[in-house]
Chain A
Amino acid sequence: MPSLDDLRKRISSVKSTQKITKAMKMVAAAKLRKAQEMAENGRPYSDKMNVIIQNLSKAINDPSNAPKLLIGSGDDKTHLCVVMTADRGLCGGFNTNIVKQAKNYFNKILKESKNLKIITVGTKGLDQLKREYGKYIVKKIDFKNKKQISFKDASLVGDEIVKLFQNNEFDKCIIFYNKFKNVMTQIPQSQQLIPAKKEDETKTEQESSYDFEPEEDEILEDLLPKNISTQIYKGFLENSASEQGSRMTAMDNATRNAGDLVEKLTINYNRSRQAAITKELIEIISGAESL
């Protein structure tokens, strides 16, 4: 049985932890709203970009002439995986979920004895991956001292990937991030960037022929690197909304758990206090009776 003093100390420590988690929850809620708004505002851009690329790739008749970024290098030996995680912890299973998904993929690739290269974005994913997969990591990127990730930051990552591709460093590029469904659920996603995956061919749907100025492949060459940055930016936005959502739920749970704990401890405390009083009373009464 812990002493009264110990109990009192524990109660006050749990209470102050509860205050912290509560504050973190509020902060996450405020940030979530902003991040969600940004993710929604960013959607039209990437959607339109996709539509244009679909239209363009339909217009290319001779696939052997198409830019490599669209059709790939024709090989399937080296896979580049971009794992996007948060820079901060205390957000429930957010980082672990992405890393888990990525690890599954890594193992599959290594089993097929293909080459693996990893770029980590965000420090938390790096921490979880570097022990097991440290030798595969070719680049680490983090935005720890940035408050808001802008499109420029995303295009830095995008340019890096395009440059590696042009140097024939890899054949396939996959990004891992969390898709924001709602505050409670975030779905870890893997998306193939290079070669750009063609959606199901529904040619009948849009038969409108476009005029291209300059030629199709020239436009594609300009557009595809941009598309990669756009997809990465989209990943960032979804990720940051997911991070805040996940943190909010985690901190909400923590606050509730702390409340439960305080309740239990308080009952314990009151009981032992009452026990001490009763004991003293019994001692006094039995002392008086014996006289």
Chain B
Amino acid sequence: MNENFNIEIISPEKKLFAEKGKSVTIPSFEGEMTILPDHISIITFLRPGVININENKKKYFVEEGTVEFSKNNLTILSSTIIELDSLSKDVISSMLEESEKELNQENLDDKKRYIISHKIDCLSQINL
């Protein structure tokens, strides 16, 4: 049996990450999901959260993205992806402030509200 599978993280600018790994946890739209080798083929998209590769070996913060897994190839496409180590406290707090401002706007639909509140949750957890 395969113990590893290919992981690729691609942003519009470049390929961010391409390695083999054992497990990846993604913040899928309907809840967190951990992908292990020989997972069933799946397509899903992400809500704001943290991608965790190989149990805390590498972490990324994403706001949105699309995930495809088939035949032991995992592809994550995201235009808003930041490596967690490169985030500083100032950046996080300014992002928090911004999203809180967004949340207070009146003409938000439920979906947007759901996404933004998740973003706030996730960001404030990083801060701890």
- A residues lining the B interface (CB < 8 Å): 38, 41-42, 44-46, 48-49, 51-52, 55-56, 150-151, 154-155, 208-214, 219, 222-223, 226, 229-230, 233
Contact = CB atoms under 8 A, between A and B. Distances in A.
Interface of A is mostly: helix
B45 A45 contact: no
B68 A213 contact: no
Give chain B's interface residue range (CB within 8 Å of chain A).
20 to 34
Contacts, number: 77
A278 to B, nearest CB: 68
Given A155-B79, A214-B30, A219-B44, A226 B66 contact: yes
Which of B28, B42, B45, B71 gathers most chain A CB within 10 Å?
Answer: B45
A44 B28 contact: no
B79 A212 contact: no
B45 to A, nearest CB: 5
Contacts of A42: 12-14
Contact of B42 (A51, A210, A229): A210
A151 B12 contact: yes
A229 B12 CA distance: 10
Given A210-B70, A226-B66, A45 B42 contact: no
Nearest to A150: B13
B6 interface: no
B57 to A, nearest CB: 22
A226 B79 contact: yes
26 contacts: A41-B15, A44-B10, A48-B75, A48-B77, A49-B66, A52-B43, A52-B66, A55-B43, A150-B13, A151-B11, A151-B79, A208-B41, A208-B70, A210-B42, A210-B43, A210-B70, A211-B40, A212-B42, A212-B44, A213-B28, A213-B43, A214-B29, A219-B45, A223-B45, A223-B66, A226-B66
